[in-house]
Structure 1
């Protein structure tokens, strides 16, 4: 009897497994990678297989509710939400975003409707607010514009608070509630609106909802909030003080949930690391990570450790450590055999988007400095073909190109405490550091 009952439970459970059907038209796609998303991170969840008609049928095996991304041919991607319901999506490979149709899944219909509404509301409200700010209050057009803005705000809030909340416990309902844009009360003077946004923009974010880690909401709301503290007229030191105040607000709110707190701490540290805000990173480490014993992602923790050691050992005026690496022909090249008035030493990866943008710009500068400067480009690639293709595509053949194909595990990368790409050191003829930078 117990066996029959157990079998019945298993059968019933299996019958409710959620299905995903994706159809990509005008494509010869065979497989696609399925990733789960968390902030700006994505983790491979599975590989999906398509039949000859461009259809894929997939069963979610106990997946967490949240955002997923399907990466298909030519770096095209399709985002959707898994919210404990069957999903059926179709799109044309030639225009994924523009042709996307949700045939089944109310959560995904709401998600895409929300994205469209958010974009429209932001554009229209910003334009109308600009008109209101510049027109005299006794002008008829001022009154008309005010009424139109009020209508747009009501439409937006109707979707956020009513239309999307028919099933308030669903992932999409909770996501929209937290992800909604702030609505500015028209009675607030223009010169007071920035402080108003600083005061209310995080009020609707549910920092105690662990599931929302599996989305972009905490990352997006953090960026939105930090932007309110940005001022192009401030120096970097002044800007760091402003951002530090914003960080305190964000992390203080996140402390309500240890997992969300960890998630946001990692996100902020990694974000400020990429933009070189060392003082803010130190502040977060001292006042949150160390103080509250926050466990960071192992890769991020290693990166921070390397950042600290590099800052201590690779100071302006210090002589750079020597190394020897193979060039494109496999010949070992020693650093101290490269002679020039100045040497630009770059650590990069062909897979790094910033490197792909920056190195061609450096190439243009190098063309004007060839007589006095040499560039040593150390690739952190693991695939030789990727490395050589990058050199060829970007016309870097007149640089000293080196790589041992060990990636982040290269002894030189570890010896130099490289923690981000690209990392650059400008050296004088005696191999002393006269400048350094990282992105």
Structure 2
């Protein structure tokens, strides 16, 4: 009797252990025809449109890859990565414990089958439908390109129009039928907003030429669910925001900041989405090469990071505040902050006292390789442009606290590179921290100023100055 009880207890414990080992928060079985045995395969998800974040890996055994884990997967668009250039995407809504994916990798779209995932059935039925209609449309377009028969052309134009109407109706119906699914949201975010068929007339009787643009811009995000953080693990929110700013926003600071605030208000429906969109924008405009847009980052930092970013700790906020304090006084369009350096005789030379149409403030270091290499180009630029109203305030940044040594090495630079005709100055009185005052983290750094010492451009390459000034003068002439 004791033996039977112990045997029963052993079987019971073994069963419990087996069930525990077989219970996973996610279990994704992939059956790929044509995959090599023992191939290492990655499971990852999108994060924005530029990167995959790996979450698991497994080896292929007899054509089967199995990803499993004890912690659930967050919803998003995932990819099975066979190599950097070969991968297949699918959806995880965040609620599926088990999914089976079967496909022939030589024709994934037409052979893929999903078990345990309604989301992917919806998505891939939609993709297959679009692929079929695209093939049909290509045949019609071929006829339109090659035929010269009016009746044939008319017939195929009608076919094309009917096909487009059919596709639009299919997409609308799919989104409506599956509006509560993640797949439905993915399909919807890729829909273009509907526009009116007719353009209204202005009081003058003419058609409103900007009506469609304004309407399209206003409706651009109507198909985006900013409240669903799963969208972060797809490429689509980043794609939409980037397209909006590239195609619909006039690239001047005031327009960009106004539209940035608009998009960020929409993104505030979910904290993580807001955080991502804010990071996207600030990363772009802090490092942008387009002259005159430096005020965008300052605006984002002041009005969003320093006000709403509760995910930042005190040190991180202090760093943002420091960047604002540095950049705000030297935003393009502002008058250059006070700069009084000394010439090699120790006399003060106030930047504001220089009378010229344009002034280049050229921050350099005597021991900087780039500065030494570019010194001949700088002198050539001066000789070619001195009669066009250019002055060059050649400002040496100090490296040590020994200003006697600084002065001698600066004199050596001036003599060696023959910059005597420039306004050669340095900070003999140690008044300035050039990094914190003028954002000079590398040399050479160039500020281009107008006659009133307003900043026209900063961190502009010397070779671009002439072209920029010509463009600037054309703009001024157009306003007259």
TM-score norm. by structure 2 comes to 0.51
CA distance in 2, matches of 1:434, 1:225: 27
Q: What residue is the counterpart of 1:281 in the other structure?
A: 297
Q: Deviations over 1:312-344 (max 9, x none)?
A: 99x96112595xxxxxxxxxxxx6499645699
Question: How far apart in 2 are the matches of 1:253 and 1:67?
Answer: 22
Contact 1:160/1:180 (8 A) holds in 2: no
Task: Provide the residue aligned with 1:381 in structure 2.
Answer: none
Gaps spanning 5+ residues in structure 2: where? 1-11, 145-153, 201-207, 331-359, 378-434, 447-458, 464-480
Deviation at 1:212, TM superposition (A): 2.6
Gap regions ≥5 residues in structure 1: 132-139, 323-334, 345-415, 418-422
**1:291 corresponds to which of 300, 307, 315:** 307
Poorly superposed stretches of 4+, deviation over 6 Å:
96-100, 116-121, 140-143, 300-313, 423-428
Specify the structure having the higher radius of gyration (Cα).
2
CA, structure 1 residues 146+11, in 2 after alignment: closer, same or farther (shift >3 Å)?
Answer: same
What's the counterpart of residue 388 of structure 1?
A: none
SS in structure 1 of the partner of residue 45 of structure 2: strand
Q: C-alpha separation between the residues in 2 aligned to 1:193 and 1:290? A: 36
2:78–2:89 Cα contact (<8 Å) kept: yes
Cα distance in 1, alignment partners of residues 317 and 36 from structure 2: 41
Q: Return the offset for 1:113.
A: 4.4
Partner Cα distance (2:370, 2:294) in 1: 34
1:261 aligns with 2:274: yes
Residue 40 (structure 1) aligns with? 49
**Cα distance in 2 between the residues matched to 1:424 and 1:97:** 51
* 1:252 aligned residue: 265
Q: Deviations over 1:75-116 (max 9, x none)?
A: 433222123151314343xx6866772343432233344456
The reply to whether residue 203 of structure 1 matches residue 222 of structure 2 is yes
Counterparts of 1:56 and 1:182 in 2: how far apart (Å)?
A: 40
Q: How far, CA to CA, are the matches of 1:284 and 1:117 in structure 2?
A: 42
The alignment partner of 2:300 has SS state of helix
Instruction: Work out the CA distance in 2 between the residues paired with 1:175 and 1:245.
Output: 27
Question: How big is the shift at 1:248?
Answer: 1.9
Distance 1:427-1:211 versus aligned 2 partners, 3 A rule:
closer
> Which residue number in structure 1 is paired with residue 348 of structure 2?
none
| Distance (Å, rounded) in 2 between the aligned partners of 1:343 and 1:99 | 63
Which residue of structure 1 aligns with residue 183 of structure 2? 172
CA distance in 2, matches of 1:70, 1:342: 53
In the TM superposition, what is the alpha-carbon distance from 1:259 to its structure 2 partner? Answer: 2.3
In the TM superposition, 1:84-233 aligns within 5 A as: 84=96, 85-92=98-105, 101-104=112-115, 105-114=117-126, 144=158, 149-162=164-177, 165=178, 168-188=179-199, 191=209, 192-230=211-249
Q: Distance in 2 between matches of 1:68 and 1:32?
A: 13
CA distance in 1 between partners of 2:237 and 2:100 (Å): 25
TM-score by length of 1: 0.55
Deviations 1:160-199 (A, max 9, x none): 222xx0xx54332333344433233424569422211112
SS in 2 for 1:72: strand
**Number of aligned residues:** 314
Distance 1:199 1:46, change over 3 A: closer
2:64 paired residue among 55, 59, 67: 55
Structure 1 residue aligned with 2:90, among 51, 62, 80? 80
1:266/1:29 Cα in 2 relative to 1: closer, same or farther (>3 Å)?
A: farther
Distance 1:11 1:62 in 2: 16
8 Å Cα contact 1:33-1:72 kept in structure 2 = yes
Aligned CA RMSD, in angstroms, stands at 5.0
Measured in 1, the distance between the counterparts of 2:280 and 2:230 equals: 16
